[in-house]
């Protein structure tokens, strides 16, 4: 008697390392421009100064948790004015929904932090270990001195970027020059070191190792963005009539 039972698919698929190939073109140039602007803003904004008079922090963008105030250039928000921030977040969400309906996964492809930092880490990986074929060849071959040195240099660069990312995030909640000096001299609080280590580690792990696994298993956005698409939305598809049968490179 034939077996008619249905085997449930596994909840998690085995991880397979992805070796993306460097690409060129108009869209890729736009992505590099967006990445440069976003990373530049993230790392530079905490260092901008804005004179608000005596007794008030002069950092342009600062979430002063201790005194329950939020500074954004000339804007100062107190807890009783949180509805301004709420309204801004609602408008941002509506804008994200509208952009998804019109242009598809534009958030995921261009401005998602996971995409931005993964692109940066991949750029470092290519500069040190080579493009797709070179990396695959090294990983498949025996461990050599050249391979170990390249890998050590790659991870060292990743850790520097991750530390800069974790430090920059803390600067949005404390005075930037002060917190950098305290971290380097060992005078920072335990809470500061904890969050510095936390965001450094998460950046290093998510952008260096997890990568697309974050989108597959952790991010909630792909779960419901399909509800905002229709037959006129722009989507990324694979044209098998153009790509098959494949030829060797």
Query: CA-to-CA distance for 183 and 229, rounded, in angstroms?
Result: 46
- The tokens describing 17, both together, are 């390392």
Kindly report, residue by residue over 128-148, the tens digit of the pLDDT: 998 988 898 888 888 889 899
The most confident of 60-64, 79-83, 116-120, 131-135, by mean pLDDT: 116-120
pLDDT score for 199: 96
Residue 6 domain-assigned (yes or no): no
Residue 11 domain-assigned (yes or no): no
User: H/E/C letters for each residue in the chain?
Assistant: CCCCCCCCCCCCCCCCCCCCCCCCCHHHHHHHHHHHHHHHHHHHHHHCECCCCCCCCCECEEEECCCCEEEECCEEECHHHHHHHHHHHHHHHHHHHHHHHHHCCHHHHHHCHHHHHHHHHHHHHHHHHCCHHHHHHHHHCCCCHHHHHHHHHHHHHHHHHHHHHHHHHHHCCCCHHHHHHHHHHCCCCHHHHHHHHHHHHHHHHHHHHHCHHHHHHHCCHHHHHHHHCCCCCCCCCCCHHHHCCCCCC
User: Starting from the edge strand earliest in sequence, which strands make up the sheet with 75-77, in order?
Assistant: 61-64, 69-72, 75-77
pLDDT score for 233: 72
Residue 18 domain-assigned (yes or no): no
pLDDT score for 114: 94
- Find the helix packing angle between 176-185 and 190-205, rounded to 10°: 90
State which residues form the domain around 213.
26-232
Query: CA-to-CA distance for 192 and 55, rounded, in angstroms?
Result: 23
pLDDT at 3 over 70: no
Mean pLDDT of 9-21: 78
Mean pLDDT of 32-59: 91
Mean pLDDT rounded to a whole number for the chain: 87
Q: For the chain, what is the domain count?
A: 1
Residue 54 domain-assigned (yes or no): yes
Query: CA-to-CA distance for 184 and 187, rounded, in angstroms?
Result: 8
pLDDT score for 152: 95
Mean pLDDT of 150-172: 95
Residue 242 domain-assigned (yes or no): no
Kindly report, residue by residue over 86-133, the tens digit of the pLDDT: 898 999 989 888 888 888 788 888 999 999 999 999 999 999 998 988
Residue 243 domain-assigned (yes or no): no
Angle at 45 between CA 78 and CA 114, to 5 degrees: 100
Peptide bond between residue 245 and the one before it cis (omega within 30 degrees of 0): yes
Mean pLDDT of 63-69: 85
pLDDT score for 127: 94
Residue 9 domain-assigned (yes or no): no
Residue 63 domain-assigned (yes or no): yes
């Amino acid at each position: 008697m034939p077996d008619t039972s249905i085997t449930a698919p596994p909840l998690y698929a085995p991880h397979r390392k992805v070796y993306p190939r460097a690409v060129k073109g108009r869209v890729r140039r736009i992505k590099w421009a967006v990445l440069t602007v976003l990373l530049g803003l993230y790392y530079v904004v905490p260092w901008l100064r804005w004179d608000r008079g005596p007794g008030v922090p002069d950092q342009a963008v600062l979430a002063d948790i201790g005194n329950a105030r939020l500074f954004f250039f000339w804007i100062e928000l107190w807890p009783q004015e949180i509805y301004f921030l709420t309204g801004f977040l609602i408008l941002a969400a509506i804008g994200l929904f509208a952009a998804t309906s019109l242009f598809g996964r534009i958030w995921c492809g261009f401005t998602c932090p996971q995409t931005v930092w993964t692109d940066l880490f991949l750029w470092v990986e290519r500069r040190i270990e080579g493009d797709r074929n070179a990396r695959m060849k090294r990983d498949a071959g025996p461990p050599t001195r050249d391979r170990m040195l390249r890998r050590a240099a790659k991870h060292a660069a990743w850790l520097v970027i991750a530390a800069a990312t974790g430090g920059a995030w803390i600067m949005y909640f404390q005075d930037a020059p002060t917190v950098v000096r305290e971290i380097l001299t060992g005078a920072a609080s335990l809470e500061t070191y904890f969050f510095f280590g936390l965001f450094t580690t998460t950046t290093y792990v998510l952008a260096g190792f997890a990568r697309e696994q974050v989108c597959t298993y952790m991010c909630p956005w792909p779960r419901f963005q399909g509800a905002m698409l229709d037959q006129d939305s722009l989507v990324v598809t694979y044209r098998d009539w153009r790509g098959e049968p494949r030829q060797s490179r």
